[in-house]
Amino acid sequence: MLEMYKANIYVKPRDGKMLVYRGKNSNGEAINESFDRVSGIVKEISIRESEWNGEQIKSWNIKIVDGEETYILTLGYSNGFTRGFFNSLISADLSKPIKFGCYVKNEYNCPSLIQNEGIVRWKYGVDQMPKTEKVKIGTKEVIDDTKAVEWMLKVVDEIQANIKNFEAVEIFGGEEVKKTEEFKSEESDILPF
C-alpha cells in the first residue's frame, strides 16, 4: 500500500487573523491565506532556533493535529502574545480540541483560545506574570525579558507534562483507559524481543 506524505501546515498570528503559509509565488514572495481560527489538539511544543538577517533567533512551534491535518503554529519567543497564549493554554483541557485565533486590541495581536464554545481564561493574573524591563547597556536602551522568559518556560513545562499525560491514553475494548505506568505482565519476560 502506498501512503502519501502530508506536509505540515505552518500558521502564524498576524493582524487579528491566523495566516496559513501556502508556499511562494514565482517572485519568491510568501503566499499566505487568512483564517479566523485553526482548531485541533495540541500534541507538542518545541523551541526552534534559526538565523534571520545574520542574527540567531528563537521561536515557539506548537504542533496542532486535527484529523489528518497537522498545523505548526509559530509564535515569537518572548513577546506578550506568546505569554498570553501559554497562560491560556495551561488552563485548557489538552485532551480536547481547541480553536486558536487572535484579535487586535490597542494595536496589538492578542491570543484567543476557545474550547467547548467558551473562552479559555488565563490561569495566572497580570500581577503573577513577570514583566519585561527596559535596561540601559552603555548608551543603548534594551528590553530585558529574562524573568518573563523564565516564568514562561515553567508554564510550558507544566503544559508539556499535561500533554504527555493525555498521550498516554489508549483504547481498550471501546473504553478510554489512562495509562499511569508501563503495562507489565508475567508473560512479558518470555517474549523474544
Number of domains in the chain: 1
Cβ atoms of residues 77 and 147 within 8 Å: no
Residue 91 lies in a domain: yes
Q: What is the pLDDT of residues 164-180, one digit of tens each?
A: 876 655 444 445 544 44
* Cell 548608551, residue located: 139
Residue 1 lies in a domain: no
Residue 4 lies in a domain: no
pTM above 0.85, yes or no: no
Q: What is the pLDDT of residues 87-108, one digit of tens each?
A: 999 999 999 999 999 999 999 9
Domain limits at 135? 9-174
Residue 135 lies in a domain: yes
Helix (H) or strand (E) holding 11: strand 9-14
Amino acid present at 32: N
Residue 118: closest CA among 80, 159, 88: 88
